[in-house]
């Protein structure tokens, strides 16, 4: 395989499991890196091999705590100072992204701040997956390759061969994603209209559409406390659905999410491995995104089109 430039793949601490799978798909070794911790929790990042003139791909999701983000920033800075030719963070889960606009006075726009931090640190482009909002791409002054988990979820949904299938969104905000799946699969679409009492607390929910006698597939971008998605699943069953399954790329799963999933009417819920699972459950299944990310790294290195592998061009 001809290469435009030599490239190396390195990993942050909490995403090493993902980086090892990516390297296995590519057929390259995972680069050697060392992180030294001081007694007060401060840490130093260093590369244990030369990266001068190399493209470096840094695998690290930036889910809380903030150490994961800071570790990535230090990896970028160290690569820049070690004369890497191009620095590309591969961020399966782009954390701190839920504040992407001013929805009330005197709040930060966290997603823009993170984009600025990464840019100032010295990146040349970004590869990420299923951003919380598409407009976050515009917060960067470098190219963003925005991947979609639909590339791996859609073939799996088709392989399930469910009859009377219908796509669903747990809220109106996710209707575009669910509509894209419904159009591709040739199914109907149903929505949930929810009202929140406050963040992470749903006060009321109603079904818009017909689910009676249907096998429902709920689509979301992430599951945090699982309040919305489990409430939606229970509501669909109450309205006559035969079964309810859910697909979401990012398993944030803050407590008591796993307990809610176990106690809900969900048959099963599928995530990618963009975030390591906090707790195991018989209802929670993981479909690896390592192949998708590995393919994108190779195509990025070869200056080939990444969008050609998308089953759905936008969500």
Q: What is the pLDDT of residues 107-144, one digit of tens each?
A: 999 999 999 999 999 999 999 999 999 999 999 999 99
- Nearest residue to 29 via CA among 15, 9, 52: 9
Express each pLDDT in 238-281 by its tens digit. 999 999 999 999 999 999 999 999 999 999 999 999 999 999 99
144 CB contacts (<8 Å, ≥6 apart)? 125, 126, 127, 128, 137
Cα–Cα distance for residue pair 243/168, rounded to 1 Å: 12
Q: Is the pLDDT of residue 27 over 60?
A: yes
Report whether 11 contacts 22 (CB < 8 A): no
138 CB contacts (<8 Å, ≥6 apart)? none
Q: Is the pLDDT of residue 2 over 90?
A: no
**What is the distance of C-alpha 67 from the center of its chain?**
18
* Residue 265 annotated to the active site: no
Q: Which parts of the chain fold into alpha helices (H)? A: 16-26, 67-81, 110-121, 150-160, 175-185, 227-238, 257-263, 290-301
Q: Is the pLDDT of residue 55 over 70?
A: yes
Judged by DSSP in three states, 150 sits in: helix
Active-site residue identified among 8, 194, 214, 231 = 194
Average pLDDT of the residues in 184-203: 77
- Maximum Cα–Cα distance across the chain: 61
- Nearest residue to 103 via CA among 173, 183, 187, 154: 173
- Residue 281's alpha-carbon distances to 7, 231, 258, 268, 284, in angstroms, are 38, 18, 7, 10, 5
Above pLDDT 90, what percent of the chain? 85
- Nearest residue to 68 via CA among 18, 105, 30, 104: 18
Average pLDDT along the chain? 93
Report whether 22 contacts 294 (CB < 8 A): yes
Judged by DSSP in three states, 273 sits in: coil
Q: Is the pLDDT of residue 26 over 70?
A: yes
| Residue labelled with tokens 């390195």 | 10
Report whether 252 contacts 63 (CB < 8 A): yes
Considering the entire predicted model, what is its pTM? 0.92
Average pLDDT of the residues in 213-230: 95
């Amino acid at each position: 395989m001809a290469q435009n430039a030599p490239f190396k793949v390195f990993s942050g601490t909490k995403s090493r499991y993902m980086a090892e799978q990516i390297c296995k798909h590519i057929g390259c070794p995972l680069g050697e890196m060392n992180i030294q911790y001081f007694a007060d929790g401060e840490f130093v990042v260093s590369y244990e091999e030369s990266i001068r003139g190399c493209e470096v791909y840094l695998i690290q999701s930036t889910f809380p705590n903030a150490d994961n983000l800071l570790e990535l920033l230090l990896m970028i800075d160290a690569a820049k100072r070690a004369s890497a030719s191009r620095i590309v963070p591969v961020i399966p889960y782009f954390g701190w992204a839920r504040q992407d606009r001013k929805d009330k006075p005197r709040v930060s726009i966290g997603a823009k701040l993170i984009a600025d931090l990464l840019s100032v640190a010295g990146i040349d482009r970004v590869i990420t997956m299923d951003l919380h909002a598409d407009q976050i791409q515009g917060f960067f002054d470098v190219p963003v390759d925005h991947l979609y988990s639909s590339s791996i979820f859609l073939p799996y949904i088709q392989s399930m061969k469910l009859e009377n299938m219908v796509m669903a969104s747990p809220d109106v905000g996710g209707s575009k994603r669910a509509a894209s799946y419904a159009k591709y699969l040739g199914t109907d679409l149903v929505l949930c209209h929810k009202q929140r009492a406050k963040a992470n607390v749903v006060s009321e929910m109603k079904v818009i559409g017909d689910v009676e006698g249907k096998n429902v597939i709920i689509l979301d971008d992430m599951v945090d406390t699982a309040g919305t998605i489990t409430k939606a699943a229970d509501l669909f069953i109450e309205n006559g659905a035969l079964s309810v399954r859910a697909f979401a790329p990012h398993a944030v799963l803050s407590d008591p999410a796993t307990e809610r999933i176990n106690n809900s009417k969900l048959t099963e819920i599928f995530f990618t491995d963009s975030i390591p699972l906090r707790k195991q459950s018989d209802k929670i299944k993981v479909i690896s995104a390592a192949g998708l990310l590995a393919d994108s790294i190779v195509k990025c290195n070869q200056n080939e089109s990444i969008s050609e592998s998308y089953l759905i061009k936008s969500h």
